[in-house]
Amino acid sequence: MPFTAATTSERHAAEPIEVIPSGRALGVEVRGIDLTKLGDAAFARLIQVWHQYSVVLIRNQRLSDQELIAFSRRLGDLDWAPIQETGRRFVEGLPEIYIVSNVKVNGEPIGSLGDGEAVWHTDMSYLEVPPKASILYSLEVPPLGGNTSFCTMYGIYEALPQTLKDRIAGLKIKHDGTYNSGGYVRQGVTPTDDPRTSPGAVHPLVCTHPDTGWRMLYLGRRRNAYLVGLELAESDALLDELWSFVDRPEFAWEHVWRVGDLVLWDNRCTMHRRDAFDPSSRRVMHRTQVKGEQRPS
């Protein structure tokens, strides 16, 4: 079980970095670093830890948007954020920043996803080459709720019965680009609920992670997903069967946010979801997304 986290912490000899696994199937906290002053050796160690645990939490940061972008660029070129449902850019002049927020100014949301549940998903997998990483940084958090959970697609694949693994081997899945995880229609898209004709990208249903070499299930999101070549009903039944594994608590780690938390997740081998929260409280997060280097395969 390559994804299984050890429960002990370690102190790396060369760098003053503390690595504290969540004890869950994925997720780790790294302590003792300031992301604005991270040396190359510490950065290399961080990437190693990220590959091993898929999701890394770094607390107590104070980052400007430019510093968030500068750190994110160390992982690779950045994708531009999806455009707001209203058609506007989130931050003028900084197309890399995606704002996740329920806050409204003059009646207009400053960000995406509102205050409701965001269902399990992978970011922007409707692209031919989806981002390899997402980096979410918290500026304002509600006193309660709005927690974000992550699940391991390595662990979920590994847990499938062999007969199911055999049935899905070689299948391709359409990742829909119509709706975001909050249920909102993406900018410029005509909504449709026929996954065979909706915009999106087709990827292998089972992929090998290019850095770890581990096999994983690649589901993207449930709504409007389609297993290419199958009858719609057959595709939906098989997808429902696969998705029945996703909500099992043993595959997930839940993060309770504090201001100044930065979470870096591997967008290829994890999915995430967010709980709803009290609409009268404020939640403001800024996200970057690092371009993938190759099509999922």
Q: Does 134 bind ligand OGA (CB under 6 A)?
A: yes
Q: By CB under 6 A, what part of segment 196-255 binds ligand OGA?
A: none
Helix, strand, coil content of the chain in percent (nearest 5): 20, 30, 50
What character string, x for contact with ligand OGA (CB under 6 A) and - otherwise, covers 172-191? ---------x----------
* Cα-based torsion angle of the residue sequence 205, 220, 48, 274 in order, rounded to the nearest 10 degrees: -150
Check binding of 29 to ligand OGA (CB under 6 A).
Answer: no
- Taking CB under 5 A as the rule, does residue 123 contact Mn ion? yes
- Cβ neighbours of residue 101 closer than 8 Å, sequence gap 6 or more: 109, 110, 111, 112, 113, 282, 283, 284, 285
Q: Which residues are paired to 98 by β-bridges?
A: 287
Query: Taking CB under 5 A as the rule, does residue 29 contact Mn ion?
Result: no
Paired tokens of 83: 């455009």
Q: How far is CA 273 from the centre of its chain?
A: 8
Work out which of 132, 203, 272, 286 binds ligand OGA, going by CB under 6 A.
272
| C-beta separation of 297 from 204 below 8 A | yes
Which residue's CB is nearer to Mn ion, number 42 or number 98?
Answer: 98
Q: Which is nearer to ligand OGA, 46 or 100 (CB)?
A: 100
Is residue 97 a contact point for ligand OGA (CB under 6 A)?
no
Alpha-carbon gap, residue 180 to 112, rounded angstroms:
9
Spatial CA neighbour of 78 closest among 222, 274, 286: 286
Distance CA 226, CA 140 (A): 37
For the bound state, the minimum distance from the C-beta of residue 100 to ligand OGA, rounded and expressed in Å, comes to 4
Span near Mn ion by CB under 5 A; candidates 122-130, 159-167, 196-204, 237-245: 122-130
Task: Pick one of 24, 45, 274, 286: the residue that binds ligand OGA (CB under 6 A).
Answer: 274
**Residue 50: Cβ within 10 Å count:** 19
- Closest approach, Cβ 115 to ligand OGA, in A, equals 10
Interface residue with ligand OGA among 218, 287, 292, 296 (CB under 6 A) is: 287
What is the separation, in whole angstroms, between the first and last Cα of the chain?
A: 21
Q: How far is the CB of 55 from Mn ion (least distance, A)?
A: 12
DSSP letter string, 252-277? EEEE---TT-EEEEESSSEEEEE--B
Contact 262, 55 (CB under 8 A): no
Per-residue x/- mask for ligand OGA, residues 141 to 160, rule CB under 6 A? -------x------------
Q: In angstroms, give the least distance from the CB of 147 to ligand OGA.
A: 8
- Residue 136's binding partner among ligand OGA, Mn ion, none (Cβ under 5 to 8 angstroms by kind) is ligand OGA
Answer for which of 5, 97, 285, 290 binds ligand OGA (CB under 6 A) is 285
Does position 266 interact with Mn ion (CB under 5 A)? The reply is no
Q: Residue 285 binds what, of ligand OGA, Mn ion, none (CB under 5 to 8 Å, by partner type)? A: ligand OGA
Q: Residues in the site for ligand OGA, rule: CB under 6 A?
A: 100, 113, 118, 123, 134, 136, 148, 181, 272, 274, 285, 287
